[in-house]
Amino acid sequence: MASEKTPTPLGSNFIRAIVDKDLEQGVYQSRKWAGSPGDAAHQAAGQPDAAKIRTRFPPEPNGYLHIGHAKSIFLNFGLARDYAGVCHLRFDDTNPEKESQEYVDSITDAVKWLGFSWENGQESNLYFASNYFDFMYRAAESLIENGHAYVDSQTPEEMRITRGTLTEAGKNSPWRDRTVAENLTLFREMRDGKHADGSLILRTKIDMASPNINLRDPAIYRVRRAHHHNTGDKWCIYPMYTFAHPIEDALEQITHSICTLEFEDQRPFYDWLLERLAEAGLLAHPLPKQYEFARLNLTYVVLSKRKLIQLVEEKHVSGWDDPRLPTLAGARRRGYVAEGFKLFTDRIGVSKADSWIEYTILEDCMREVLNEGSERRIAVLDPIKLVIDNYPLDSNGKSQVEDCFAPNHPLKPELGKRVVPLTRELWIEREDFMEVPSKGFFRLVPDGLVRLRYGYVVKCTGCEKDANGNVTVVHCEYLPDTKSGTPGSDSIKVKGNIHWVSVTHAYECEVRLYDRLFKEAHPGQGHTEDGRDRDFLTDLNPNSVTVITAQLEPSLKDAKAEDSFQFERHGYFVADIKDSVAGTPVFNRTVTLRDAWQK
C-alpha cells in the first residue's frame, strides 16, 4: 500500500517534534498538579494534570521585553495553546540587585499586549521564583545532608584559579571535605546573617575535573544583603540561576523548559540537580526537561539587554518606549501590532542554527497585517500648494467646496466611504510635481495630465518660483467631466494619480518619520582600523527620526491614541499613545509602503 505523504504542518520545528513524541509515548501522563506549584508531597495530593504540557516564559525583571522575547513568548505560549497545555509567566527574580517592580509591570503589560494570558480557569499561572526561596533553602540543606554540597571559604579570586581553564582540569577546594555537620552549621549561619557578603558560598560537589566547566562544583547560594522587590529583607542569601531555575521548573510541574542556546552546557547540571532532589524525595518523576533554541538576531537592531539599557540611560533614545527601540513597548508605540509579531515568529521558525533575520521580514509582516486592518486616509507630508485656476468661485469670490468620496478600504467596500472636501487651493506632495520630469516619472509635469485621487483629472499649466528658483505654487486647470464616480471619470485615462488635501480644511499636524536606529546591518560587529572592537554606538543612524508638520485630511483630527491608518501612497501611521490629545492627535510613521519605483 502506498503511504500518502502528509504535508509538513506549518510551523513544524524540532521542539514540536519532541512534544509530539512525548505525548505519543505518554511521558507525562502520570503527572499530577495540585493547583499550585509545590514539592513532591504537595503535587502527589493533587489530581492528574489536565494540562497536557506545561511550558513557561521566565524573564528576569531587570529590563524591558524586546522582539527577541516575543519569539520566546510565542514559542512557549503558542506550544501550550496548540497542545492543550498551559504556559506560566514566571519572574526569575533571584538577583535582588538588578530587579524592580517597574520591570515586572512592563513585562506583564507586554505579554498581555501580545495576546496571551496566564489565567487558566480559576488558576493564575503567574509566579515568582522568589516565592520558592523556602523550598530552595530546604533543597540546599538536603544536598548538604546527602554530601552533594559544601560551604566554600575560598575568595572569588581563589575560586577562579582553582576552577581551571577550558583545557586544564580544576583543583579541589581545600574546604571541599568539610563534614556534613560543619557545612550545615555554616550554611545556617549564612542564612542567619552571621557571615559577610561574599565571604562564604555554597557549592555543589560534583567534579572539579569535568570537561564541562559548569560541572566543576558550581556555586548555588551566595550571601548578599540586598533588598528584594518581593521578599524584602527576609533573606540575605540568594540562590543562583543554575540552582534556582531547574527547581522553579520542577515545582511548577513544567514539562518542557525551553531556553536559548547559551544554556546548553547547563543542561547536565539541570538534570543532575533534579535527580538528586528526586532521590531525596523532594521532587518526583517525571522531571522537567530543558531544550534550547537559537536566539533571535535582527539586522540593524541590537537586542542585548546591556546595550538597550545603555541606549536608554545615555539618552540616545527618549526612553524604553522610544518608537525606534526594539522593545515591545517601543514597537507598540511605533504602531507595530501583536498580530504582526505572530506572523513574524511563524515566518522565521525555530531551530538551533545561529541566524540573522533581515529586518525587512519584520516590516513586511507589519505591512501585511496593517494593510488588512487599517483604514485609508489622506495625508500630505511635504506640502506644496496646487491652485486649480478654473475652479468655480462663489459670489463672494470664495472657492466652491465640493464633496469627494474616498473609500475607507479599497478591498472592503463594507467599511464605507468618507467625505473629503475639494476646493480651489490644495496641498499636494512636493515630490509629485517635477518641472523637468525624470525618466519614468508619471505624476504632475507641465502640460501633463494627472488625476487628483477621488476628484478630477487636472492639467498642469505651470508653476511659480521664489528668488532661489524653488517651486512655491503649482497651477493647473481641472476637466469638469472627469470626476471620480461619475460616468465621465473614465473618459480620459491617466497613469498618474496623486493625493491632496484642501488648504482651507486641512488638519496641520506633527508627524514623526522614523527610520532604522542603526545604519549598519550588524551594529558594533567587527573591528576598527586599529584592530579594536567597534562600539555599536558609532553605528547609530543620526537621522533615525524626522519631525515634520504635515497637512492631513480633516477626519484625522478625530483619531484616538493607537488608531492605525494607512496614509495613502505613504505608509502606515499610528496616533501616538503618549503625545496625542483628544482632538489633536500626533502621528508616528510605523512603516512605509513598499515602493517599487526606482527613482
What amino acid is encoded at 548 in this protein? I
> Is residue 176 flagged as an active site residue?
no
Give the Å distances, CA to CA, from 66 to 138, 331, 377, 517.
35, 9, 30, 15
Distance CA 222, CA 393 (A): 83
> What DSSP letter does each residue of 48-70 carry, written as one string?
EPSSS-EEEE---SSS--BHHHH
Distance of CA 334 to the CA centre of its chain: 12
Shortest Cβ 582–RNA spacing (Å): 27
Shortest Cβ 579–RNA spacing (Å): 25
3-state secondary structure 156-183: HHHHHHHCCCCCCCCCCCCCCCCCHHHH
Shortest Cβ 397–RNA spacing (Å): 29
Q: Which three cell numbers stand for residue 156?
A: 572569588
Q: Residue 532 carries which DSSP code?
A: P
Instruction: Tell me which H or E stretch contains 134.
Output: helix 133-145
Q: Are 184 and 141 in contact (CB under 8 A)?
A: yes
Cβ nearer to RNA, comparing 165 with 396 = 165
Shortest Cβ 35–RNA spacing (Å): 26
Cβ nearer to RNA, comparing 40 with 340 = 340
Could you count the other beta carbons within 10 Å of the beta carbon of residue 265? 13
> Is residue 295 flagged as an active site residue?
yes
Nearest alpha carbon to residue 272 among 283, 261, 260, 259: 283
φ/ψ of residue 578, rounded to 5:
-95, -45
φ/ψ of residue 515, rounded to 5:
-125, 180
| 507-514 and 587-592 beta bridge pairing | parallel
Q: Which three cell numbers stand for residue 319?
A: 526612553
Shortest Cβ 129–RNA spacing (Å): 8
> Is residue 352 flagged as an active site residue?
no
Cβ nearer to RNA, comparing 33 with 64 = 64
Shortest Cβ 553–RNA spacing (Å): 13
Shortest Cβ 510–RNA spacing (Å): 22
Nearest alpha carbon to residue 259 among 242, 276, 275: 242
Cβ nearer to RNA, comparing 56 with 163 = 163
Cβ nearer to RNA, comparing 242 with 504 = 242
Shortest Cβ 456–RNA spacing (Å): 8
Shortest Cβ 467–RNA spacing (Å): 28
Shortest Cβ 222–RNA spacing (Å): 4
Cβ nearer to RNA, comparing 431 with 510 = 431
Cβ nearer to RNA, comparing 196 with 467 = 196
- Burial string for 507-531 (b: 16+ CB within 10 Å, else e) reads bebbbbbbebbbebebbbeeeeeee
Nearest alpha carbon to residue 382 among 572, 556, 513, 573: 513
- Choosing from 60, 264, 435, 477, the catalytic residue is 60
Cβ nearer to RNA, comparing 173 with 399 = 173
- Choosing from 224, 295, 385, 453, the catalytic residue is 295
- Choosing from 188, 305, 430, 534, the catalytic residue is 305
Distance of CA 61 to the CA centre of its chain: 15
- Burial string for 476-489 (b: 16+ CB within 10 Å, else e) reads bebbeebbbeeeee
Distance CA 60, CA 371 (A): 35
Distance of CA 413 to the CA centre of its chain: 33
φ/ψ of residue 196, rounded to 5:
-70, 155
Cβ nearer to RNA, comparing 63 with 323 = 63
Cβ nearer to RNA, comparing 279 with 595 = 595
User: What pairs with residue 384 in β-bridges?
Assistant: 428
Distance CA 136, CA 59 (A): 19
Q: Are 226 and 240 in contact (CB under 8 A)?
A: no
Q: Are 474 and 388 in contact (CB under 8 A)?
A: no
Q: Give me the active site residues, please.
A: 60, 295, 305
